[in-house]
Amino acid sequence: MVRPLVVRHTAGSYAVIIRSGSRADLAALLNERHPGTRAAVIADSNVAAALGSPLPAAPLFTFPAGEAHKSRATWADLTDRLLAERFDRQTVIVAFGGGVTTDLAGFVAATFLRGVPWIAVPTTTLAMLDAAVGGKTGVDTGAGKNLVGAFHWPSAVICDPAALSTLPERSYREGLAEAVKHAATLDDRYGEWISRNTVAIAGRDGAVLESLIRRSVELKADVVAEDERESGRRAVLNAGHTVAHALERATDYAMPHGEAVAIGLVLETRVAERMGVARAGTANQVAALLTALRLPIEPPSLDHERVMNAMVADKKNRGGVVHAALIASFGTMARDGDAWTHALDLRVLAEIL
């Protein structure tokens, strides 16, 4: 049996189980990690309709699918329903779904009765590769994405690649942008591996997907263990996200997060090249790998002023200056002295847009 990965943090550690069929182990895992507790499963309406519940005996709390519902209103509704069902501190929240569910249910767990344990059971490529690992939870507001949240570590993560077979093609592919991000920022050899395996990845080969998820989780876990609360190197995991979050807001979240990250990675690296931060040709390397995975690399026709204004609200900004984590060369991040982000030249970005 493949051994789980272990993500370490100052309060302890948790296991990330990556194996086809592992979702069936959830009940046993709950009994082992949280004996005597009562589980509450949180899933969006799409996942609930397509997959049901991973714990049929536990109450299932659903909310409308979509980024627009990752909100304080949904958080309030879910916590009110938990209280109405008389859940108490002997509660474990099970986040069953994609990135929206992971962030939202994790935030419910972080705040319900001042914090209860939670387990992530991601069902999308995006959530398995990135969102379910690292302990960042939260909701969006009118001012921007993830501006209200908390760091709250899961007690375990179950990544079952078999769940990815049910995803629509676009939903499956968008999450692959996070794998490209991990390669472009942290490991050029991982990028070479992805390039050699694009056909198997497109075909959702189970063994290849296990390797893909495992390597992305390993890379993210190493960074998170070094910088749990995003005060330093963890900022590299936000590569592409400054532009991505602005694109999402400018499209009223019609653009999927992964597609926005793909475009953001390319645009931010083009800016970095023009700023003299990135090696010439790096943006083309990133774009080539994304294109091989059939991900977009150019923004759609948008109100560019709206995109630029959306970046001002990004939580990574400091003193009103827009900052971004920039790639120096494929597999290596650029530093600005001791900082892992650079002030983004918005004039150059506007020209590129």
Q: What is the CATH number of the domain that holds 97?
A: 3.40.50.1970
Query: What does each C-alpha distance from 100 to 47, 168, 187 come to in angstroms?
Result: 11, 17, 27
Name which of 66-70, 182-186, 258-262, 316-320 the model is least confident about. Answer: 316-320
Q: Which residues are annotated as catalytic?
A: 114, 136, 178, 220, 230, 234, 238, 241, 245, 257
* 178 & 159 share domain: no
* 191 & 87 share domain: no
Please check the confidence at residue 333 and state whether its pLDDT lies above 70.
yes
Please check the confidence at residue 288 and state whether its pLDDT lies above 80.
yes
Please check the confidence at residue 316 and state whether its pLDDT lies above 70.
no
* 145 & 218 share domain: no
- Of 149, 166, 183, the residue at which a domain comes to its end is 166
Contacts of 267 (CB under 8 A, 6+ apart): 243, 299, 349, 352, 353
CB count within 10 Å of CB 188 equals 15
Provide the pLDDT confidence category of residue 9 given band limits of 50, 70 and 90.
Answer: confident
φ/ψ of residue 18, rounded to 5: -120, 100
Q: What is the pLDDT of residues 71-116, one digit of tens each?
A: 999 999 999 999 999 999 999 999 999 999 999 999 999 999 999 9
Per cent of the chain over pLDDT 70 is 97
* 56 & 198 share domain: no
* 223 & 342 share domain: yes
* 89 & 235 share domain: no
Q: Domain of 67? A: 5-166
- pLDDT score recorded for residue 263: 96
Please check the confidence at residue 1 and state whether its pLDDT lies above 60.
no
Q: What is the mean pLDDT of the chain?
A: 93
Name which of 13-17, 40-44, 82-86, 104-108 the model is least confident about. Answer: 13-17
* 199 & 287 share domain: yes
Mean of pLDDT values over 243-256: 91
- Of 113, 136, 166, the residue at which a domain comes to its end is 166
- pLDDT score recorded for residue 313: 64
Contact 201, 208 (CB under 8 A): yes
* 186 & 118 share domain: no
* 131 & 190 share domain: no
Please check the confidence at residue 229 and state whether its pLDDT lies above 80.
no
- Of 146, 166, 186, the residue at which a domain comes to its end is 166
Kindly state the greatest CA–CA separation across the chain.
59
Please check the confidence at residue 39 and state whether its pLDDT lies above 90.
yes
Number of domains in the chain: 2
Contacts of 108 (CB under 8 A, 6+ apart): 42, 75, 78, 79, 82, 93, 118
pTM of the model as a whole: 0.92
